[in-house]
Amino acid sequence: MALVEDTSLDVLFVGHRDDLLKGFDRVMSEDKDLKRSFEPSAAGLSYDFENLIRHAETRIGMDDDPTESLKDRRSSLATCLRLVQSKEADILVTPGNSGAAVKHASYDVTHIDKHGKPGFRDAWSNRRKESFEYKPGLIARLPNFETGKTVHLCDTGAIRDPTFKSIADNAILMTVYLKIAEGLDNPRIALLNIGTEPKKGDLLHRQAYNRLKDYHSQGLINFVGNYEPIHALTRDVADGFASGTQSANVGIKFAEAVASAFKHVLLSSYYKLNSIVRVPIFGPGYARIKHLMESKTNYKNYGGAFLTGTIFDNVVIAHGSAGEQEIAGAIKYAARISGLGINEAIKYEMKRRHSFFS
C-alpha cells in the first residue's frame, strides 16, 4: 500500500526468504495496483522484489524475552538493525516485539568481536562515561477529535519501570522531536495525570511534576501543567504529553476500547432504527457516520511510534496487531522523519539539562 501511494519509497524486506516470497505471491494475486507497481513500465518505475529481500534465518516472537533475544544474531530484527547501522538502510519499521526492538536499538549490532564473529556492543557506554545518561522514549501519535490536530505521547513502551526523572526527560525528548519533525517553535508539554491540580497523582507523578516545573524555569521545555487523557483527545491544551509507559498504554488501550464500544453501540443502534423505519441499512446516513469515524481515526495518519533518545535515529515501532493501513502509515512516517538528526539534537539538550541538574 505504501509503495503504491509513494513510488519514491525504497523498502527492504527482512525475514526468511521463502516465507517472504510466498507472502509476496499471495499479496500480488490479491492486489492488482500493487502488482502493477512491480511490473516493468515505460518510465522504468518498477520493483524487483527478489532484490529487495534481505534473508534472516530466525525471528523474534512477541513473547520472547527482550534481553534473551540479543543472543540470536541471525534474527530478522538484528539483521534490520545491522542494515541501518551499516547505512545500507536509513530506518527500521517493525510491528514485532517492541521490548526487543528497544533492547536491540541500545546496542551496536555491526560490532565484530575479537574472534571475527558478529556481536552486540553496548552503545550506551560512551553516554555513561560522559555522565549525562538518559533513557529512550517511544513517541506515539494520537488524533485530537475536537481540533483535528495530532497529539504526541511519550513514553509508550521504551522504559518499563520509569523514575520521575525519566518521565520528566520524556518532555525534553518530545520538545526536540516536535521542533524538528513537526516544525513547532515552542511546543507545549503537559504531564499526563489523573487531574489538573499540581498535587494530583501518586508520588512518582508529583515528583515528575516538580521536575518538569524546574525544566520549564530553566528554559528546557514549555511546561503547561497536569492534564487528563480526555484533554489529550478533545482539547487544545498541549502538543505533547509526558508519561510513564504503564499509564500511557492504559490510557491508549482504554481509549481504543471506548472507541470500539462506541462504534458498536452507534452502529447497532442505527441498524435497529433502520429495522423500525425501513430505511436501507447502507444508506446515506450510514455512509456519513462511517466516513466521519474513519476520517477521525485513519491509521495511515497515526501508524508507528518513533523510538527517540537512542544512539541511532533508526527505529519506528508499529502495534503488534497492526493492519496493512497502519503498517503503510508507519513506513511513510519513517521515511518522513529519517535523517533529521533528532537524536543529535536531543543529546545537546540533555547536556544542557545536565549542566542545570547534575
In a domain, 323, yes or no: yes
DSSP at 213: H
Nearest to 94 by CA among 83, 86, 40: 83
Q: Which of 72, 58, 68, 73 lies closest to 118 in space, CA to CA?
A: 73
Is position 217 within any domain? yes
Residue 1 lies in a domain: no
User: How would DSSP label each residue in 38-67?
Assistant: TS--TT-----HHHHEEE-SB---TTS-HH
279 φ, ψ (degrees, to nearest 5): -95, 140
**226 within a domain of the structure (yes/no):** yes
204 within domain boundaries: yes
For residue 199, give the CATH number of its domain: 3.40.718.10
Decide: 5 and 328 in contact? Cβ < 8 Å. yes
Q: How far apart (Å, rounded) are the C-alpha atoms in residues 298 and 143? A: 9
Number of domains in the chain: 1
C-alpha cell at 81: 538493525
C-alpha cell at 86: 551499516
pLDDT tens for 146-178 read 888 899 999 988 888 999 999 999 999 999 999
- CB neighbours of residue 326 within 10 Å: 20
pLDDT digit of tens for each residue in the chain (358 aa)?
A: 666 666 678 889 999 999 998 888 887 787 776 666 666 554 444 556 788 899 999 999 999 999 899 888 899 999 998 898 888 999 999 998 999 999 888 776 655 555 555 555 555 454 444 445 788 899 999 888 888 889 999 998 888 899 999 999 999 999 999 999 999 999 999 999 999 999 999 999 999 999 999 999 999 999 999 999 999 989 999 999 999 988 888 877 777 777 778 777 777 776 666 655 545 555 555 566 666 666 666 656 788 899 988 876 789 999 877 778 888 889 999 999 998 989 889 888 988 888 877 6
Residue 175: name the closest of 216, 145, 213 by CA.
216
For residue 107, list its beta bridge partners. Answer: 122
| pLDDT for residue 43 | 44
The answer as to whether 158 is a domain residue is yes
Grid cell at residue 271: 441498524
**306 φ, ψ (degrees, to nearest 5):** -90, 125
At 54-93, the pLDDT tens digits run 999 999 999 999 989 988 889 999 999 889 888 899 999 9
Domain that holds residue 155: 135-251+294-348
pLDDT (0 to 100) of residue 275 = 58
pLDDT at site 44? 47
At 314 the pLDDT is: 83
Nearest to 24 by CA among 180, 15, 218, 297: 15
Residue 11 covered by a domain = no
Question: Which residues, listed in sequence order, are joined to residue 75 by a DSSP beta bridge?
Answer: 58
Place of cell 494520537: 142
Q: What is the DSSP string of 1-42?
A: -HHHH-TT----EEE-HHHHHHHHHHHHHH-HHHHHHTS--T
